[in-house]
Structure 1
C-alpha cells in the first residue's frame, strides 16, 4: 500500500506525524511524506520518500501580513487579537492552496492509496478529496472549540476555498474535513464536545527527535539534584524571555539545560555556573532525565513532556493560540503552572519553578497523564489498521 503523509514543516506539527509514518514504513508500506524541503534530509534518513509541498510557515505568514496591511492601513493600531485574526484568516487560504497546488500533480503521477494529513494542515486532505483518495486527519494536539473565534473565521475561508474545488465540508470542525481523526490527546484532556461527537481513533503520542547524542554530563550527573530543561521552541528569537527564565532558574539549587533553537547560543551572553546552553538537544531522549520542563507551550514539547510524566511551567512567549490552549490543558489537569507574557520575570519564574519542584501532587498528576498516554494504542497498532481506511 502507498500512503502519503503530509504536514506543515514546523516541528510541532511535523514531528507528531512521524511515529505513525515510520511504523507504516516498517510494516512494509510505501510511505511518502509531503512537506517543506527543510525536512527532506531527515525524511530520507528515516526511509520515507520526501515530496515537496506547501510553503514555510514564516513565508506564508509574511505574505498574509503583507496582504492584511495593504487592506488595513490602520493595522498597527488594531488590537493584537484582531491583528492575529486577520493574519490567521488570510493564512487559512494561502497555506492550503499551496499544498493543493503542489500535490495534485503528484497524485496524478504517483497516486497514493491513502492520505494522512496534519490536523491543522487541511490542504493535502482537500487535494485528496478532489481526486477521490481516502484520507485521515492526524491530530497534533487538543482540538480547539469549533466556535472559537479564530476557528470560526478559518472555517469560513476554508469553506469558500473548498467550494471552489468542488468539496463540501462538515458543519463542525471543518478544518478536519470530516475525515476520521487520529487523536493523540489523552481522552481525559480532550475537548469534551469533540470527544463526544468526532469520528476519532486514539493514537498514542510518541516523543520523537532525530537520532543524536545527549550531552554526556546529562547521563552521568547526580540525579539527586533536579535538572530543569528550558526551551522557547526551535523558532523563538526572544533573548529577553530566555534571560528572564535563566536568571530566575539559576537562583535555585538545580542544574539548568537551555536549548536556544534558531537563536545563536552567544546571544544569551554569560550564564551562571549551573546553566548549560546548547543550540539543540534531542528532546525526546532528554526528558526522562529531567525533573521540570519550562517552555513556551508548543505542541511537540507539551506532548513530549506529558508522555514522559514531567511537570511543566508554561511561559507565554507570544500570543500563539495553540500555546495558550496547551498551557490551559495541562494546568487544568493539575500537572503544570503558567505565566502570561506580562507576568514573566526572573522572580516569577523562580517562584513557580520552586513550587513545582516541591509539589508532589503535580508530579503525581504528571505521572497519571503519562500512564493514560501509555495505555493508548501505539503507532504500530494503528499502522496495522491503515489499509482498512482505503
Structure 2
C-alpha cells in the first residue's frame, strides 16, 4: 500500500503524524510526506521521505507576519473588500501546496491520503485521485465544521483541479484520551497519541539525581516566533521564590525580555519534549495541541495558558478532566499557582490516570491494518 501524508509546515502539527508514518513503514508500506518550508528537512531527519510542495516560501516568517498584521486591527467582515476567505489563516498554506502536491500524488499513486484538520490540501488530493481521505487529529479544537471552513478557503484550488469540493472523510483518527475527547465524528477511530519531537543527543544532567522538583516550561515552536518569550516572564519571577528547578525549553529564542535568570532556571535550546517531561515533575505551557497531548501522555500535572488559535479548547479539556490548571487571568500568575501545581495530589492523580488511559488506547501499529482494509474497500469501511 502507498500512503501520502499531507503535512502542515509547522512542527507541532507535523510531528503527531510521524508515529503513524513509521508504523506504516515498519509494516512494509510506502510512505511519502508532502509539506513545505523547514518542515521538509525535519521530515527527512525523522527518517521519512518528503517533497517540498511550495518551494521558495518561508511559512514561519509568513505566518508570524500574518499574526502581527492581524493584531490590533478590526478584521474585515465576511464579503467585505479585503476580507480573506473564511478559514484562510488556518489552512496553513494548503493553497500554496495544492498544485505541486496533486502533481506529486498523480505520480506516486497513493492508495489513501492522511492529513491533519488544517492540512485540507490532503483532502483535495484525495478527491482528485478518488482515494480515501483519512483525517489525523492533533488536539481537541477541531470539528468537521472547522474542516469545512478551511476547505471553503481552498475553493479556488478545488476549482483549478476540476472539483466541486472535497469528498467525505473516510476515517477520523482521534488521538485524544477517550475520556477527554470532544469529537463526535461518525467515522472516528481512537488512536494512541505517541509523542514524537525529533531525535537529540540528550544531556547528562537530565538523568542525574535531583534534590528538588523540576518543572518544564515551554511555548512550543510557533508562539515564540510570534510573541517572543515574554508570556513566560511571570514564571521566571515566580522561580525566585520557589525551591524547584525550572527548565526553559523555548527553542533557542532570545531570552532578553526575561531579564536576569535566577540560578534555578536552566534555559535549553532544543530537547525532545517527551524526554524532558520524563525527567520532570510538572509542566507549564502555552496550550498547543502537540504540547498538551505530550504533557498528558507524561502523566504530569500542568498549567496551561491556553491563549489563541485552538489553545483555549486544549486548555478547557485539561481543566475539565482535572489534570491541570488554567489561569483565569494575569492575576492568577503567581508563585502560589506554581506551588499548587507541585503540591495538589488531586491534579497528580488525575494526570496519572489519563496517562494510563492513553497507554491502553490502540497504537498506531494497530491502526495500520484498519487503514489497509480502508484502502482495499475504497473508503467504505466504517
Band the TM-score falls in, shorter-chain normalisation? 0.7 to 0.9
* Equivalent residue, structure 2, for 1:42: 42
Secondary structure at 1:376's aligned position in 2?
Answer: coil
**C-alpha distance in structure 2 between counterparts of 1:16 and 1:218, whole Å:** 24
Q: CA deviation at 1:31?
A: 1.1
Question: Please, which of 197, 211, 221 is the counterpart of residue 199 of structure 2?
Answer: 211
1:337-381 Cα distance to aligned partner (Å, 9 max, x none): 1125xx336x72422111121110110110111111111111111
Secondary structure at 1:384's aligned position in 2?
Answer: helix
Q: How many residues are aligned here? A: 365
Q: Residues 114-125 of structure 1 correspond to what in structure 2 (within 5 A)?
A: 114-125=112-123
1:295-334 Cα distance to aligned partner (Å, 9 max, x none): 1001111000101111110124xx4231111111101100
Q: Residues 256-267 of structure 1 correspond to what in structure 2 (within 5 A)?
A: 256-265=246-255
**C-alpha distance in structure 1 between counterparts of 2:238 and 2:251, whole Å:** 20
Residues 86 and 160 (structure 1), Cα distance of their counterparts in 2 relative to 1, 3 Å cut: closer
Q: TM-score under structure 2 normalisation?
A: 0.85
Judge conservation of contact 1:9–1:56 (CA < 8 Å) in 2. no
1:311 aligns with 2:301: yes
* Equivalent residue, structure 2, for 1:344: 330
Q: Residues 48-59 of structure 1 correspond to what in structure 2 (within 5 A)?
A: 48-54=48-54, 57-58=59-60
Unaligned runs of 5+ in 2: 376-382
* Equivalent residue, structure 1, for 2:348: 363
Question: Please, which of 354, 367, 372 is the counterpart of residue 387 of structure 1?
Answer: 372
Judge conservation of contact 1:34–1:52 (CA < 8 Å) in 2. yes
**C-alpha distance in structure 1 between counterparts of 2:94 and 2:33, whole Å:** 16
Q: CA deviation at 1:255?
A: 0.6
Question: Please, which of 288, 297, 307 is the counterpart of residue 298 of structure 1?
Answer: 288
Moved more, 56-65 or 12-21: 56-65
Q: CA RMSD in A?
A: 3.0
Q: CA deviation at 1:125?
A: 1.5
Q: CA deviation at 1:90?
A: 3.1
1:113-166 Cα distance to aligned partner (Å, 9 max, x none): 22111122111221221121222111111243566xx77754654567646642
1:188 aligns with 2:169: no
Q: Residues 113-262 of structure 1 correspond to what in structure 2 (within 5 A)?
A: 113-144=111-142, 154=150, 156-158=152-154, 162=158, 165-169=162-166, 177-191=168-182, 194-195=183-184, 197-222=185-210, 224-235=211-222, 236=224, 237-262=227-252
Q: CA deviation at 1:265?
A: 4.5
Residues 48 and 146 (structure 1), Cα distance of their counterparts in 2 relative to 1, 3 Å cut: closer
Q: TM-score under structure 1 normalisation?
A: 0.83
Q: CA deviation at 1:37?
A: 3.8
Judge conservation of contact 1:135–1:179 (CA < 8 Å) in 2. yes
* Equivalent residue, structure 1, for 2:380: none
**C-alpha distance in structure 1 between counterparts of 2:77 and 2:318, whole Å:** 23
Residues 324 and 273 (structure 1), Cα distance of their counterparts in 2 relative to 1, 3 Å cut: same
Judge conservation of contact 1:315–1:339 (CA < 8 Å) in 2. yes
1:19 aligns with 2:7: no
Residues 156 and 31 (structure 1), Cα distance of their counterparts in 2 relative to 1, 3 Å cut: closer
Unaligned runs of 5+ in 1: 70-74, 171-176
Secondary structure at 2:42's aligned position in 1?
Answer: helix
